[in-house]
Structure 1
Amino acid sequence: MAEVLFYHLTESRLEEALPDLLERSLARGWRVVVQSMTTERRDALDHHLWVYRDDAFLPHGTDGDASGAMQPILLTVEPDQRANDPQVRFLVDGAVPASLEGYVRGVYLFDGHDETQLAVARERWTAEKSAGHAVTYWQQSENRRWLKKA
């Protein structure tokens, strides 16, 4: 069973929170896949991960790249994409995986100001808990720190 974390973004945007969480995953030696809802969003995240900070580098590619399978971070829109043999699956903007079986960790990041994303997160909480995964809920404080709520 996977450990499944729900990150409720209330004070920052996905583009601000995602790189730090990806860095933490890579520091643990994990390979990652990030699933978004559209190719436009995938491509915007691809661009953002190259320029998000001057003193950092997150090696990544997309499922549209020939080298995608070799990347420590693979960006995709496919719910069952595992070409880079990831241990962690990030789900953004309401994306839903085919399954989290075989992953060490699943991470849902959702915008607390988007009713659709909130509804999907609630549905996924119930589904992942029912599937037997260990689920935890984290919410941002006013200073953008993560506080464990459940």
Structure 2
Amino acid sequence: MGAAFFYHLTDSPLEATLPMLIGKARGAGWRVLVRGNDATLLKRLDEVLWQGPEDGFMPHGLAGGPHDGDQPVLLGDVPSDGFACVMSVGGAAVSAEEVTAAERTCILFDGHDGAALDVARGQWKSLTDAGCAAQYWAQEAGRWTKKAEK
């Protein structure tokens, strides 16, 4: 049974935090879905992952290609079947069923965006009310600190 980890981004942008979290998930041997419903955001993240450090190449692809099923990291708004880790960006929805089916669900949100905070609060309430385990992590002085667990 998985859990939802909420990441409140205040010190580091999504473009820096997402590759770090993907690296940890891949290090655990997990196939990762980065779910977003904004094609422009997903394209930007795709470019960020391609421009990563040479020693940190992260094989991935945008959903809709001929090899989606072979991608260790797939970016798109697709079902989570076959993924051990789901990462929600840009307020993309994640269901309680997906959280419990995955090893880990990560919900990343911009702490400087009031609308993103509201969406994350709604996701926390919805998922925890459905019985999902959840942790809330915030950045403090460049470090991640667990602020809540349910």
The residue that corresponds to 1:123 in the other structure is 122
What fraction of aligned residue pairs are identical, expressed as a percent?
39
Listed as ranges, the gaps of 5+ residues in structure 2 are none
Please, which moves more after superposition, 47-56 or 112-121? 47-56
Please report the TM-score for the alignment, with normalisation by the length of structure 2.
Answer: 0.91
Listed as ranges, the gaps of 5+ residues in structure 1 are none
- Structure 2 counterpart SS, 1:121: helix
Structure 1 residues 3-26: Cα deviation after superposition (integer angstroms, max 9, x where no partner): 110000011110011101000000
Q: After the TM superposition, which segments of 4 or more aligned residues of structure 1 sit over 6 Å from their partners?
A: none
CA positional deviation for 1:81 = 4.6
Please report the TM-score for the alignment, with normalisation by the length of structure 1.
Answer: 0.91
- Following superposition of structure 1 onto structure 2, how do residues 65-144 of structure 1 map, counting pairs within 5 Å? 65-78=65-78, 80-82=79-81, 85-98=82-95, 99-100=97-98, 101-142=100-141, 144=142
CA distance in 2, matches of 1:38, 1:81: 17
Return the structure number with greater helix share. Answer: 2
Q: Do 2:61 and 2:73's aligned partners in 1 also have CA atoms closer than 8 Å?
A: yes
Structure 1 residues 31-85: Cα deviation after superposition (integer angstroms, max 9, x where no partner): 110011211111111111010223211111111211111011110023x253xx1
CA distance in 2, matches of 1:52, 1:128: 33
- Whichever residue aligns with residue 119 of structure 1, its letter is D
Please, which moves more after superposition, 36-45 or 131-140? 36-45
